[in-house]
Amino acid sequence: MRGKSSALRAKEEFLALYHDGAFEAGTKIPSESSMAEMLGVSRETWRKALGLLRGEGVLYSRHGSGTYLQEPSHRITNDLSQLKSMSKMIAEAGLREQGSCMTCTVGTAPEEVCRFFEAPETAEFAIIQHIRRTEKDVIAVSLGYLPEKYAEKMHGAIPQSLFAFLEESEGIYISRASTELFIPAENDPLCEMLRLREGQSAFGFRQCHYDSRGNPTLYSAQRPVSFHDHENTAVKTA
């Protein structure tokens, strides 16, 4: 059996220090050179370990500021074998998706998206809006964010699967994602897409997708629609 890579060992040593109280959640960690020295590894090895830790949702970077430990949250980290697409979840719920409406625009994104991509707040992204339906009802809405460079490639032919688009067109494979449940605020784009009644709310989930090297690749926010929503939900399609 092959031994652990130096990056994996560095990751585990960092986590051991974290759990022993050497670092606090929400705080900035030392510089790249300081961390490499602290762990007794090269800077290149620490960069690889950083990719692993970002991929697992332990660390995130702020553009022009540094690397920080995530605050504790209801976060579930899955590998690809456990990751389910919205289409699969719909099928497993016994529903039959019979239509969808997709649009792709370019624009700025919420703070958490910029933070995930380590981009400035003024950065623009390809924003993919997807509304899924059964014969009569809307069953889910979602927003996907990709770097702006992909918008032109999807002009006139938005892919049904962003995973397949990245794999087939770009040779990028999603290997890990972190999923976080949340209650959308009234001004959240997902709620605005559904035009929910005042005071009506339901859970949604955000997913941060990483490629096989731990690079941030796709950010998505999705909101399934429960059956009791249907009577009072109007979908915004434009």
Mean pLDDT of the chain: 77
Domain endpoint, select from 72, 89, 106:
72
CATH of the domain at 48: 1.10.10.10
The tokens describing 220, both together, are: 């998505």
Residue 237 maps to a domain: no
Which amino acid, residue 109?
A: A
End-to-end CA distance of the chain, in Å?
56
Q: Which of 160, 153, 171, 183 is nearest to 217 (CA)?
A: 171
Residues 95 and 24 reside in one and the same domain: no
Residue 121 maps to a domain: yes
pLDDT in tens, 54-69: 877 788 888 788 899 8
Instruction: Output Rg (C-alpha) for the chain, integer angstroms.
Output: 19
pLDDT in tens, 180-219: 876 666 666 666 665 555 544 556 788 899 887 888 999 9
CB contact set of 211 (below 8 Å; sequence gap of 6+): 172, 173, 174, 175, 217
Residues 126 and 169 reside in one and the same domain: yes
Other C-beta atoms lying within 10 Å of the C-beta of residue 135:
8
Residues 20 and 80 reside in one and the same domain: no
CATH of the domain at 193: 3.40.1410.10
119 vs 76 pLDDT, higher one:
119
* Domains contained in the chain, number: 2
Residues 61 and 82 reside in one and the same domain: no
Domain endpoint, select from 72, 87, 119:
72
Residue 227 maps to a domain: yes
Residue 43 maps to a domain: yes
Domain endpoint, select from 72, 96, 126:
72
Residues 191 and 137 reside in one and the same domain: yes
DSSP symbol at 6: H
pLDDT in tens, 147-177: 998 888 886 677 777 888 888 888 888 888 8
Residues 169 and 131 reside in one and the same domain: yes
pLDDT in tens, 47-56: 988 888 887 7
Residues 62 and 157 reside in one and the same domain: no
Region for 57 from its dihedrals, namely left if φ exceeds 0, alpha if ψ lies in -120 to 50, beta otherwise: left
Residue 1 maps to a domain: no
pLDDT in tens, 113-142: 999 999 999 999 999 988 887 776 777 788
**Does an H or E element contain 90, and which?**
helix 86-92
Beta strands in the chain (DSSP E): 59-62, 66-69, 75-79, 99-107, 125-133, 138-147, 174-182, 204-211, 216-224
Residue 175 maps to a domain: yes
Half-sphere exposure of 23 (CA within 13 A, CB side): 22
Question: Contact, 138 vs 235, CB < 8 A?
Answer: yes
Residues 154 and 216 reside in one and the same domain: yes
Residues 108 and 142 reside in one and the same domain: yes
Provide, rounded to the nearest whole percent, the portion of the chain with pLDDT above 90: 21
The pLDDT of residue 63 is 76
Residues 22 and 58 reside in one and the same domain: yes
The pLDDT of residue 233 is 38
What CA–CA distances, in Å, run from 13 to 55, 64, 108? Answer: 17, 26, 37
Question: Is residue 45's pLDDT more than 60?
Answer: yes
Residues 217 and 116 reside in one and the same domain: yes
Residue 238 maps to a domain: no
* Full residue range of the structural domain in which residue 170 is found: 76-232
The pLDDT of residue 74 is 40
- The DSSP code sequence of 35-89 is HHHHHT--HHHHHHHHHHHHHTTSEEEETTTEEEEPPP-SEEEEEGGG---HHHH
Residues 46 and 147 reside in one and the same domain: no
